[in-house]
Structure 1
Amino acid sequence: MTKIGFIGLGIMGGPMAANLVQAGFEVTGYNRSAAKVDKLVEAGGRGAGSVAEAVADADVVITMLPDSPDVEAVVLGEDGVLAHAGDGTLLIDCSTIRPDVSREIAGRIRALDAPVSGGEQGAIEGTLSIMVGGAAADFAAARAVLDAVGSTVVHVGAAGAGQTVKAANQLIVAGTIELVAESLVFLEAHDVDTEAAIKVLAGGLAGNRILDRKAAAMIRREFTPGFRVELHDKDLGIVQAAAREAGVVIPLGAVVSQLMASLKAQGHGRLDHGALIELVARLSGRE
């Protein structure tokens, strides 16, 4: 499998497509924003003017799109992947969407649901964690492609399983960001050197990737998006729906979901999810 059609060249998809080019794959990319297609071309890939053009000769099609309706439209729509891809083409959907949508797609086209975690930096470095649902044979066939963009690549079960694991991932990440935000506001209120505090906290049992990758920007109140609030809000909706369906109680998840929704409702949906610290500061009267 050497020809890849890549649809969705945003914050995550753009670097992933570039890494596939670096790994020696022939990558043709499509994005609604032509500037992002041009960036892939500059990196050695090819540009397409439509989904049909991107997937026409592809052995593998990768999608990295914002939400379930976007994936349904691009894959199953009248002018989508299913309509134009060749027989035997393997779809790898790296978007974060509802598990039931992934199962529906897998019933229509040979597909893996392969959502990723690691943020923009992980996408740039090619060190993403990828949780893959689908047939074991398809996972084996796609392994070289997945290894070009991720350092932890695990087959977690049948179609939809990848999205279920990603939902758990987003629950953990949101909860951790909220606790880091609360801790930083707490430290600031006591006039502690927050940078020194992060250093020692990161070396102990409280150590986590949020402290490593986001705490410094949170202290500076710098929220250039690596992952937007509006997308994490969407993901937490997926978590809550899936938990309800399974009869699982997630009380802390429900709280952080409300906090993320509040941040979005206040007009901060396009900021990085580390902006939860702004909400904690506001609730504490420390804006």
Structure 2
Amino acid sequence: MRVGFIGPGIMGRPMTANLVAAGHDVRCYGRSDASRERARSTGAEVTDSVAAACEDAEVVVTMLPAGPDVLAVTTGDDGVLPSMPPGAVLLDHSTISPDEAREVHAAATTAGVRCLDAPVSGGEAGAVEGTLAVMVGGDPQTLAHVRPVLDAVGSTIVHVGGPGAGQVVKAANQLVVAGNLQVLAEALVFLRAHLGEQDLPAALDVLGGGLAGSTALTRKRRALLEQHYQPGFRIALHDKDMGIVETAARHAGLALPVTSVVATMIAAVKARGGGDLDHSALAELAADLNGSAR
């Protein structure tokens, strides 16, 4: 398919590469020189404007940091929607609020464009491997039409409801991931206090093989053991996502006390200057709270 791709960042660059490898005709736009250089490394055609990436595209993919970015890029005068041909599909992989997603859907309908909110989970590793989980909100027939595009980037692709539903499920995903990482951080403090560093890998091995095992533990094991938090998913973005969870919970009148605590811990890592660290850096804060040397 002819695909326009907006946003070749940490997640977007490998997703673009997988689309090219699957045989799609991909034109890619990034705002910065660095992002455009990343896009060139994928084999995609790199454009100098959003409009050039979207012109004649059957599908336009957006992978951007936050809701305001998505709204600005999609609805601006020189943005995605005015540049797309009627009947094409806007596929937004960004993580934004359900309300923002519904706003994008409405704008797409007005422009004569079909739309899916399709946030992803799996981190940079999942993007590289093409094994992302994709949570799709919108029309199921539109999903069937763009399935060849989604199959290039994900291995678990599920229609979860109408417009905005994908973002609701993604918010729940981010809550579960954050809670998992926080409990892992505290478990590491506990294990180091009782076992020391030498026996820690064996302890994680047995935890990973039982009910305590998780994708988070598998993906973040090396970072947690080596205490090096090179970003695969930045704390600043997870902080934004937890804000989405808390706002949506408040609108629904829900009491989620553990959510509030975990959101505060992520905000604290960001406030300490760790916004550009990987979200596994929750372990660093847990160690500091207990006077542990890093």
| TM-score, normalisation: structure 1 | 0.98
Amino acid at match of 1:147: D
Residue type matched to 2:208 in 1?
Answer: A
The DSSP-based 3-state class of the residue aligned with 1:154 is strand
* Distance in 1, Cα, partners of 2:291 & 2:217: 24
**Structure 1 equivalent of residue 241 of structure 2:** 235
For the pair 1:128 / 2:132, whether they are aligned, the reply is yes
1:203 counterpart (199, 203, 209): 209
Output the CA distance in 2 between the equivalents of 1:34 and 1:111: 29
2:82 pairs with 1:71 = no
Q: Which runs of 5+ in 1 are unaligned?
A: none
Spell out, residue by residue over 1:39-93, the C-alpha distance to the aligned partner (whole angstroms, 9 max, x if none).
3333321001111111112110000000000000000112211121111121000
Q: Describe the SS at the equivalent of 1:66.
A: coil
Quick one: which amino acid aligns to residue 86 of structure 1? Answer: P
Higher mean displacement: 263-272 or 39-48: 39-48
Aligned equivalents of 1:249, 1:8: Cα separation in 2: 35
2:290 and 2:34 mapped to 1: Cα distance?
A: 41
Aligned AA (1:185): V
Who is 1:116 aligned against?
120
C-alpha distance after superposition, 1:179-228 (max 9, x if no partner):
00100111111134111111000001101011111022112111110000
In the alignment, the residues of structure 2 paired with residue 98 and residue 84 of structure 1 have an alpha-carbon distance, to the nearest angstrom, of: 24
Structure 1 position 36, deviation (Å): 2.9
Specify the SS of the correspondent of 1:131.
strand
Partner Cα distance (2:2, 2:121) in 1:
24
Q: How many residues align?
A: 286
Name the structure 1 match of 2:273.
Answer: 267
| Residues 165-174 or 49-58, more deviating | 49-58
Aligned equivalent of 2:191, options 166, 182, 187: 187
Q: Which residue of 1 aligns with 2:111?
A: none
SS in 2 for 1:86: coil
Deviates more, 1:20-29 or 1:206-215: 206-215
Deviates more, 1:150-159 or 1:49-58: 49-58
Letter in 1 for 2:72: A
Pairwise CA distance, 1:264: 0.4
The residue aligned with 1:92 is 91
Checking the alignment, whether the CA contact within 8 Å between 2:174 and 2:242 is kept in structure 1 is yes
Which AA in structure 1 matches 2:165?
A: A
- Per the TM alignment, residue 104 of structure 1 is displaced from its structure 2 partner at its CA by 1.0
Equivalent runs, 1:5-44 vs 2, <5 Å: 5-44=4-43
Distance 1:136 1:212 in 2: 33
Does residue 1:139 correspond to 2:143, yes or no? Answer: yes
The answer (yes or no) to whether the contact 2:13–2:42 under 8 Å persists in 1 is: no
Distance, in Å, in 2 between the alignment partners of 1:224 and 1:260 is 16
Correspondence for 1:278 among 253, 267, 284: 284
Amino acid at match of 1:200: V
Q: Distance in 2 between matches of 1:72 and 1:39?
A: 23
Residue 157 (1) aligns with residue 161 (2): yes
SS of 2:107's equivalent in the other structure is coil
Q: Is the 8 A contact 1:195 1:216 kept in 2?
A: no
Q: Give the match's secondary structure for 1:95.
A: coil
- Give per-residue Cα distances to partners, 1:233-255, cap 9 Å, x unaligned: 00000000111111222111110
Aligned residue for 2:160, secondary structure, equals strand
Query: What is the TM-score when the length of structure 2 is the normalising length?
Result: 0.95
Does the alignment pair 1:213 with 2:212? Answer: no
Indicate conservation of the 8 Å contact 2:118/2:135, yes or no: yes
Aligned to 2:255: 249
The answer to whether the 8 Å contact 1:98/1:238 transfers is yes
The residue aligned with 1:48 is: 47
Percent of residue pairs identical: 56
Superposed CA RMSD: 0.9
